[in-house]
């Protein structure tokens, strides 16, 4: 059932409405406010925390999320979480990661079909096959993978800390999974020999060097690209970095115009932090991230489903790989 409109909503949420009207068509905002109000009430009733990835739409990212960030930030937040219920506004592997790191918490995802093409590109059997082909080589696995794949790995990483994790393994050769483009980027920054898998992100792999050049030449924009993009796109960029690193670069450089070569909502959600910067968007939408909506967040909190679970034997092994990743972020030896 759709939440009812109350005239007081525009007063109660005046600050939020002002933010959202700078990021969304203004006529959309009054439609979002009743859902936001109802979700806030359910959060209080359930003692729930809503975590949202940076690729979520502004009405979710700014409207209902308690914790926001890239996959590393959400993993760290899950590990430290003391709430009884977490609603993970992202894709399925992120909800699995939260459950693995916070096994005592009920972890919900608003749409159980919010998957990931990159996570689907590799299986646990594939990892075992690679280990057999390269005996003794440790496996570093990007967090954009299933719990089963993480459980077969020695350590996980994100795009923000991939080089650190690879070098922390103390090996001359490392199996790096599953994104080929991220792996090639990491290989260019380390002397460790990487064995790569041919996995790709459907959002980032479709960007082209011609699009990047057009953004620069047509709009005189600086180019910032995610390392999951093809190497010819990265070669055009002024900066290559993770979701969090992009924000740090913008803070440091304060460009007049910038093209973020990544998922579209990333630029939307950064525009509030950097009002003096014009964001050019040669972007692609992630169809899986966009399965998450205010109505299904509301239904998720109301009914406490779909719940994400991970078999205990898988969770124990996957948690070990994730904890090694977090230890590297704390500067600890692994």
Residue positions in the annotated binding site? 53, 71, 116, 142-144, 159, 201, 226-228, 243, 286
| Angle subtended by helix axes 92-101 and 312-329, to nearest 10 | 90
**Residue whose C-alpha is closest to residue 29's, from 52, 5, 51:** 5
The token duo for 159 is 């795009």
Binding-site annotation, residues for [4Fe-4S] cluster: 116, 201, 286
Distances (CA, A) of 82 to 147, 207, 221, 329: 22, 40, 43, 21
The token duo for 162 is 């991939």
Binding-site annotation, residues for iminosuccinate: 53, 71, 142-144, 159, 226-228, 243
Cβ within 8 Å of residue 167, ≥6 positions away: 190, 192
Answer whether 95's CB lies under 8 Å from 107's CB.
yes
Distance of CA 317 to the CA centre of its chain: 22
Q: How far apart are CA 272 and CA 62, in angstroms?
A: 10
Which residue(s) pair with 89 in the sheet? 52
Q: 49: helix, coil or strand? A: strand
* Residue at token pair 């729930």: 48
Q: How far apart are CA 143 and CA 329, in angstroms?
A: 14
DSSP letter assigned to residue 263: B
Q: How far apart are CA 311 and CA 293, in angstroms?
A: 28
């Amino acid at each position: 059932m759709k939440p009812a409109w109350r005239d007081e909503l525009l007063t109660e949420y005046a600050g939020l409405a002002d933010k959202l009207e700078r990021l969304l068509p203004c006529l959309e905002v009054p439609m979002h406010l009743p859902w936001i109000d109802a979700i806030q009430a359910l959060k209080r009733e359930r003692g729930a925390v809503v975590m949202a990835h940076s690729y979520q739409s502004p009405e979710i990212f700014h409207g209902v999320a308690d914790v926001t960030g890239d996959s590393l930030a959400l993993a760290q937040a899950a590990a430290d979480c003391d709430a009884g219920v977490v609603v993970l506004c992202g894709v399925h592997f992120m909800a699995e990661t939260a459950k693995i790191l916070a096994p005592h918490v009920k972890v919900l995802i608003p749409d159980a079909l919010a998957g990931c093409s990159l996570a689907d590109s590799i299986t646990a059997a594939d990892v075992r096959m690679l280990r057999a082909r390269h005996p003794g080589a440790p496996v570093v696995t990007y967090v954009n993978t299933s719990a089963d794949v993480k459980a077969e790995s020695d350590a996980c990483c994100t795009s923000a800390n991939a080089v650190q994790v690879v070098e922390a393994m103390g090996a001359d050769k490392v199996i790096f999974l599953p994104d080929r483009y991220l792996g090639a980027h990491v290989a260019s920054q380390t002397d460790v020999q990487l064995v790569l898998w041919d996995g790709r992100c459907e959002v980032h792999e479709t960007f082209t060097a011609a699009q990047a050049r057009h953004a620069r030449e047509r709009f005189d924009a600086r180019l910032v690209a995610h390392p999951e993009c093809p190497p010819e796109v990265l070669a055009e960029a002024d900066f290559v970095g993770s979701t969090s690193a992009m924000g740090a670069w913008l803070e440091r450089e304060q460009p007049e115009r910038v093209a973020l070569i990544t998922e579209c909502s990333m630029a939307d959600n950064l525009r509030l932090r950097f009002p003096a910067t014009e964001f050019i968007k040669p972007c692609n939408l992630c169809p899986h991230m966009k399965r998450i909506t205010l109505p299904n967040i509301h239904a998720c909190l109301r009914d406490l489903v779909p719940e994400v679970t991970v078999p205990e034997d898988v969770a124990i092994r996957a948690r070990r790989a994730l904890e090694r990743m977090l230890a590297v972020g704390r500067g600890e030896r692994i």
